[in-house]
């Protein structure tokens, strides 16, 4: 429960309740897309005094369904889809299975709306796949009498909700998974927002990663589509525009994809930088764009490898077997950092790793052993670093390497 004696909420803001700075239990923040946040009243609390349980479960929405602000209920309503849970699905007779399935929970963090919906594996929801119980059709009832979605419980257009999912195994509900933001916006769906590709395909993954600078290295957008007038057919966006920014340096670079593509290369970026990147789509080959405001879509961080001392991008081909430093994940959640350094003088037995904050203060100092000129280790950060930008400096004899590290909240 979040209380406010002034009765005005958190003007232009809100709060997030998380576990280990990553897994969201309640997301009640304000943003430019969906507004939301704790904006009025004296108490922010889930209806009925409900809260959360620990430990948090592993069931979750698929990536493309999480944090969407443009769900559509016009024409044919869409499905909110959860990841398939093997413990739920390991039963052969799907059509007769009324013991195993999923439950989704939509709630307004500030109270009022709270609705839990169960779908067993024998559900009739318009899909024929064996894992159809993972797919919940918005605002549409099914033939399952245990889960009617009556009109009084319909999710409203323009209201920000949280949604969670959990599996049901042999009629025993599992633990609720993390929360995602959810909003129906039929107007927004006519020209949807996009962002850097953030789904589980390593080839295209571009949100929150490090990319080399080269004409054959690409960043990708999540492809988007919209329904044609009359709900007759879908139309795919045919051009995308990517905006790379470093606000503190007043840097901005806009790159436009070729027709029919949702990618651009990284030429024009500088090594050792972290960029804020947002993307917008066009359905008329760039004559008009979906969004022209200050934010096109969700902002992702994209980093480039630091330059090896003496010049050169570390992810470029280096002559003479030059040393190379790689750190990942970067951006990081402040828990584990994988460090790989090659080309160290074989006579050096240890290297020093120092991490400095944005003010130049050393906040972490470690000594790491080498083996045959190689450092390959996992640094346990243990939540010691607050969200922000840091510099990692590694000293190996007379060699020194630096790399920027971004820690996300």
Place of tokens 């709900």: 231
- Beta-carbon-side half-sphere exposure of residue 240 (alpha carbons within 13 Å): 27
Q: Are 103 and 115 in contact (CB under 8 A)?
A: no
CATH number for domain 321-407, candidates 3.40.50.300, 3.30.420.140, 2.60.40.1930, 3.50.50.60: 2.60.40.1930
- Beta-carbon-side half-sphere exposure of residue 83 (alpha carbons within 13 Å): 16
Residue pLDDT, tens place only, 228-279: 888 878 899 999 999 999 999 899 999 999 998 999 999 898 888 999 999 9
**3-class secondary structure per residue, 75-111:** CCCCEEEECCCHHHHCCCCCCCCCCCEEEEEEECCCC
CA separation for the pair 285, 160 (Å, rounded): 32
Q: What is the pLDDT along the chain (409 residues), one digit of tens a residue?
A: 999 888 888 888 899 999 876 789 999 988 777 778 888 788 899 999 898 889 999 999 998 899 999 999 888 778 999 999 989 976 555 667 888 999 999 999 999 999 999 988 888 888 877 788 999 989 876 554 445 577 778 899 999 999 999 999 999 999 999 999 999 999 889 999 999 998 877 778 999 999 888 888 899 999 999 988 888 788 999 999 999 999 998 999 999 999 989 999 998 988 889 999 999 999 999 999 998 888 898 899 999 987 654 333 333 333 334 567 888 888 888 888 888 888 788 788 888 898 988 777 888 888 888 877 788 788 888 778 888 888 888 888 877 788 888 888 7
CA separation for the pair 375, 279 (Å, rounded): 37
Mean pLDDT of the chain: 85
CA separation for the pair 203, 371 (Å, rounded): 31
CA separation for the pair 306, 273 (Å, rounded): 7
DSSP assigned state of 289:
-
Residue pLDDT, tens place only, 8-25: 888 888 999 998 767 899
Dihedral over Cα of 118, 120, 125, 128: its sign: positive
CA separation for the pair 364, 105 (Å, rounded): 41
**Domain extents in the chain:** 2-189, 218-303, 321-407
User: What are the strands, taking DSSP E only, across 150-224?
Assistant: 160-169, 172-173, 180-184, 218-220
Q: Quick one: which of 97, 65, 57, 381 has its CA closest to 222?
A: 65
Q: What's the full length of the chain, in residues?
A: 409
CA separation for the pair 150, 165 (Å, rounded): 20
The percentage of residues in the chain with a pLDDT greater than 70, rounded to a whole number, is 92
Q: Does the N-terminal peptide bond of residue 331 adopt cis geometry, omega within 30 degrees of 0?
A: yes
| pTM of this structure | 0.69
> For residue 321, what are its two tokens?
């077997």
């Amino acid at each position: 429960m979040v209380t406010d004696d002034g009765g005005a909420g958190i003007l232009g803001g809100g709060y997030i309740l998380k576990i280990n700075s990553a897994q969201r239990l309640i997301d009640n923040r304000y943003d430019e897309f969906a507004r939301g946040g704790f904006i009025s009243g004296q108490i922010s609390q889930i209806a009925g005094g409900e809260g959360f349980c620990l430990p948090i479960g592993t069931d979750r929405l698929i990536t493309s369904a999480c944090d969407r602000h443009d769900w559509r209920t016009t024409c044919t309503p869409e499905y909110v889809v959860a990841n398939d849970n093997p413990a739920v699905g390991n039963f052969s007779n799907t059509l007769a299975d009324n013991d195993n399935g999923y439950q989704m929970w939509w709630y307004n963090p500030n109270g009022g709306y709270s609705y839990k919906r169960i779908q067993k594996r024998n559900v009739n929801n318009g899909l024929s796949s064996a894992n159809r119980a993972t797919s919940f059709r918005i605002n549409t009832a099914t033939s399952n009498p245990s889960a009617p979605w009556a009109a009084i419980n319909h999710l409203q257009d323009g209201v920000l909700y949280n949604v969670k999912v959990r599996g049901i195994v042999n009629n025993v509900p599992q633990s609720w998974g993390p929360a995602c933001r959810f909003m129906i916006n039929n107007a927004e769906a006519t020209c949807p927002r996009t962002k850097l590709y953030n789904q589980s395909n390593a080839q295209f993954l571009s949100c929150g990663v490090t990319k080399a600078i080269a004409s054959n290295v690409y960043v990708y957008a999540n492809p988007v589509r919209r329904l044609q007038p009359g709900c007759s057919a879908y139309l795919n966006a045919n051009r995308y525009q990517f905006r790379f920014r470093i606000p503190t340096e007043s840097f901005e670079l806009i790159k436009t994809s070729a027709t029919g593509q949702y990618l651009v290369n990284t030429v024009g970026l500088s090594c050792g930088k972290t960029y804020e990147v947002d993307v917008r789509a066009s359905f008329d080959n760039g004559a008009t764009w979906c969004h022209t405001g200050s934010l096109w879509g969700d902002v992702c961080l994209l980093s480039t490898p630091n330059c090896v001392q003496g010049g050169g991008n570390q992810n470029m081909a280096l002559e003479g077997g030059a040393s190379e430093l790689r750190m990942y994940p970067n951006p990081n959640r402040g828990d584990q950092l994988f460090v790989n350094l090659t080309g160290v003088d074989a006579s050096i037995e240890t290297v020093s790793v120092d991490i400095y904050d944005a003010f130049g203060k050393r906040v972490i100092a470690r000594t790491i052993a080498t083996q045959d000129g190689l450092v390959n280790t996992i640094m346990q950060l243990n939540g010691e670093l607050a969200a922000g930008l840091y510099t990692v400096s590694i000293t190996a004899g007379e060699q020194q390497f630096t790399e920027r590290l971004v820690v996300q909240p």
